[in-house]
Structure 1
Amino acid sequence: MSDYWSILGFEGLYLEDSWVLDITARPGVLEFVVDLVLRESHPRYEAPKVGEQYCHRRGVLRFEGVSSLRWEGQGSVPATDATGEQDYGSVDALRVTDDVYTVEGDFGRIVVASAPPSVEFPG
């Protein structure tokens, strides 16, 4: 078992303070829309804005080639932040064992067998 920073493309992220805005599961695909915290080592990193602790960028964590998915502990009501945007909390953990990924947070626990996930930045 290893943690998310060992996944190609995830090494410059800090998921524990990144906010999950939406989760979509459909046949073969699982997507998380996230306000990602970027570490200084990430190529898209910029100094945090005034009054902010971290560099945030909107991104999508995408799991493709999903062959199985189990979502436990669903149903938490989203929180509303100071800007009025709803979120489902942060990603407390993302661990990988072979081709099985476990994602945990206030949104529950999702265990997904898939190809390695990717990180995409819209726009």
Structure 2
Amino acid sequence: MSLNVLGQPLQACSFDPLTGYLRDGCCSHHDSDRGQHIVCAVMSEQFLKFSKLSGNDLSTPRPEYDFAGLKAGDQWCLCALRWLEALQKGAAPKIVLAATHENILDLISLETLVAYAIDRPYFE
């Protein structure tokens, strides 16, 4: 069973748009996923612009991949290193702790993740 950063069962990130390395809605860890798509992020205009300028355009539809493009408010499983890069550049999107895989704790502290969490009231 996959666990989230809270040590609880990993919750789904999004089914619409359908996300996850396996397109199963979850930001699970898979050995074959070199990008570690384990951070459930809530897209913002700032992050989408940052990602596009960094060479990963997530907002433009790509019908050949059955990808409608993301917009602000959509939840999406991001690569761990992309979220860390966005954090370092001041463009990190909010995240959903309950749907973010525990392996991100190898790179980023829980304290930092909590500061960006939309499900932060869980701690208060």
What TM-score, normalized by structure 1, do the two folds share? 0.26
Of structures 1 and 2, the one with the larger relative CO (CA 8 A, separation 6+) is 2
> Which is richer in strand?
1
TM-score by length of 2: 0.26
